[in-house]
Structure 1
Amino acid sequence: MTSESFGRRERGEQFELCDQSVLKRENAYTGRYLVLLDPQEGKRGMEALRSRAGVPGAEQVRGAEAESAVRILEEPDVSALFPDLGVAVVGVAPDQREALVTAAQEESSIIAAEPERLVYISTITDQSREVTGYYPTYRSDEDVLERHTTAAMAAALGPAWDESDHTWGLQAVRANHCRLTGQGVMVAVLDTGVDTNHPDLAARIAGTASFVPGQSVQDGNGHGTHCIGTAAGPADPQQRPRYGVAPEARILAGKVLSNQGSGSDGQILAGISWALSQGARVISMSLGAPVSPGQLFSPVFETVAQRVVAAGTLIVAAAGNDSGPVNHPANCPSILAVAALGKALHVAPFSCRGQSLAGAEINIAAPGVEVRSAWPMPQVYKTISGTSMATPHVAGIVALLAQMEPGATAPELKKRLISGAYRLPQPPENVGAGLGQTP
């Protein structure tokens, strides 16, 4: 088993853009580091990093201070400290990285440190089955890729569903039979933002924040609006079918990915901190970065997820679309990893699989092939595929559970979600507990 550590690269490998799609690269980094601090001794830990490794002084970023988070994360000479999460995002000169390693190993106030990753949306487009990004497993063989994305995807579609009134996804999770609506529950979606003028969504947006320098929360990609629609689209959209699982949940839209579909670990952490400050009961993240077989989960994100759960909030994340190991950060044990199902309720061919490691497993599955949802104006609606589309189905179910049991802890909500799943005759490493079901 392997885990990313200090000193392996002089600089983070850069991502590329191609036809408005992000080409995901394994082990792509920003050049900064995430430092997990002892919550009781964070100040001492930062002082040690400054004195021993020349790490810039830290500015605290509180959850509600979205604008300051963007500014601090953008400045090379300032470290960003998220006190509610106990994590700092720091820059360090190349010749000081070994000193950073030593400080992290010797200082009891520093629990862990790791390179900051680049993260991406990961979506399969609709009718053409083209790949947004690529499948790392097949990238050297275009013929295999073509067969993988046509024949296999066609098989995953399965039988026809009558979607005149409800999307097949809502029918599969039984949202069309559920009387709960998610009323009063805050659902945070950390993604590419939201179309704040969308006729189905605008009136129910409770809060927005952008953590992308130079970009407003307005969704210039579409991915975020689509995910928000699936989680919390209205019961009576302007155009049928209904597509939202929790139609009266309140929407928190955090922009942690650019309009081109890329972002960083630091932006995700800023979004998580903000979502907690706004009272989110569930945080939905249809994003990630690919990992190598045998690679361990991020100790920083795992500890953050544990702290979020202790605060009463669940995080659900897309397993990934490269048909390999579960992506970061969904591979953390305390984050629910969501696989994608086709209309035949078989795992989609692109959906990532679990590994026999601590964490790195699929927890639950949901509809993720040919999912119709909201899209920025003027298109209004669009049908796309991916584990990104499966994840907000689960976030919506969690919102319904939170409405049903407002006093439930996050572990209790998770237990209800997992125990209520419809068991599928497929390996758990592909579908986890099974198909998520509304209560």
Structure 2
Amino acid sequence: MAPEAWCRAVITSQDINIAILDTGIDPNHPDLAAKITKTANFTTSPTTDDLFGHGTHVAGIAGAITNNLVFGAGTSFNSGNLWNIKVLGDDGTGPFSGIAAGIVDAADAGANVINMSLGGAGGSQALEDAVNLAFNNGVVIVASAGNDNTDTPSFPAAYANVISVAATDENDQKASFSNFGDGVDVAAPGVGIFSTCPTHANVLGCINFGSLNGTSQAAPFVSGLAALIKATFPLLNNQTIRQAIESSTDDVPGSGTLYQFGRINANSAIITAGTL
């Protein structure tokens, strides 16, 4: 219900900064380039460009440019800048230390939302410390729950100060691959998600635009919604924005069992945020 939310929300650029911690973002993509306002690299790759293909897809879901006659609209509907914080290498992997460094960099630079469509087992003290620092700086932190169809925690999603996002399919059922369990907070669409892809060759083989599946695709729907709420109600802090998102979800199969809350509803979240 994003279009209904956009009708209620501030839809002009508000300098809300969405940090995409991922494999990079194609800086030349016509539906993303004008919104990329910060770039940083915490990998051994010589470039912040997305040679893997994952980060560009994630970025489009959260913040593709709106009303430019290209593709469609990101969930944040022009209310957010995109920060390309490369923390995963050109093979799509990276250590927790690089992710932690990216979190600290984004938080110190003034990010409003951090999206991490990534994760792994165990976590680390440095990663948890970085998450807590960002949270204490007022950042809304979002991460994918993982794609192993298990209730084993994935980090950073499982940390208390992170909104952990599972994936649902077109029937509002849990996606077959999605993680679930007590540590998962909300769900969002994650099957057959059409978004931006690099304009050049990449590991995933998605060029210009295409569809991918994953909790990686679900998380940026939540990040874009958080940015939309912040742009519309700039006095709300990160805890209240999280409350608005989680308390306004739709009750779908698995709500309260597979995930603590339900599937996000952008329109309901904007309405709820206006009452907080």
Could you tell me whether the CA contact under 8 Å between 1:281 and 1:313 is conserved in 2? yes
Unaligned residue ranges in structure 2 (runs of 5+): 201-206, 271-276
Superposed, 1:2-401 pairs within 5 Å as: 171=1, 175=5, 177-181=7-11, 183-240=14-71, 242-248=72-78, 249-290=80-121, 298-324=124-150, 325-355=152-182, 361-378=183-200, 379-401=207-229
Output the TM-score relative to the length of structure 1. Answer: 0.56
Tell me the distance in 1 between the aligned counterparts of 2:66 and 2:14: 12
Say if 1:406 and 1:346 are closer, same or farther in 2 by CA, change over 3 A: same
Q: Which one has a bigger Cα radius of gyration?
A: 1
Say if 1:387 and 1:397 are closer, same or farther in 2 by CA, change over 3 A: same
Which segment drifts farther, 325-334 or 266-275?
325-334
Tell me the distance in 1 between the aligned counterparts of 2:208 and 2:8: 26
Unaligned residue ranges in structure 1 (runs of 5+): 1-170, 292-296, 356-360
The one-character-per-residue Cα deviations of 1:7-31 (angstroms, maximum 9, x if unpaired) are xxxxxxxxxxxxxxxxxxxxxxxxx
Give the number of aligned pairs: 258
Q: CA deviation at 1:417?
A: 1.3
Secondary structure in 2 matching 1:229: helix
Say if 1:206 and 1:179 are closer, same or farther in 2 by CA, change over 3 A: same
Say if 1:179 and 1:334 are closer, same or farther in 2 by CA, change over 3 A: closer
Secondary structure in 1 matching 2:184: coil
Tell me the distance in 1 between the aligned counterparts of 2:185 and 2:103: 21
Q: CA deviation at 1:432?
A: 2.7
Could you tell me whether the CA contact under 8 Å between 1:174 and 1:437 is conserved in 2? no
The one-character-per-residue Cα deviations of 1:181-202 (angstroms, maximum 9, x if unpaired) are 3632100010000000001111
Alignment RMSD: 2.0
The one-character-per-residue Cα deviations of 1:186-229 (angstroms, maximum 9, x if unpaired) are 00010000000001111111111111124211110110000010
Could you tell me whether the CA contact under 8 Å between 1:319 and 1:339 is conserved in 2? yes
Output the TM-score relative to the length of structure 2. Answer: 0.87
Tell me the distance in 2 between the aligned counterparts of 1:433 and 1:371: 22
Instruction: Name the amino acid aligned to 2:197.
Output: W
Tell me the distance in 2 between the aligned counterparts of 1:429 and 1:172: 25
Tell me the distance in 2 between the aligned counterparts of 1:405 and 1:426: 30
Q: CA deviation at 1:278?
A: 2.2
Secondary structure in 2 matching 1:283: strand
Structure with higher RCO (Cα < 8 A, 6+ apart): 2
- Cross-structure match for 2:259: 431
Say if 1:264 and 1:351 are closer, same or farther in 2 by CA, change over 3 A: same
Secondary structure in 2 matching 1:431: coil
Identity %: 33
Tell me the distance in 1 between the aligned counterparts of 2:219 and 2:185: 11
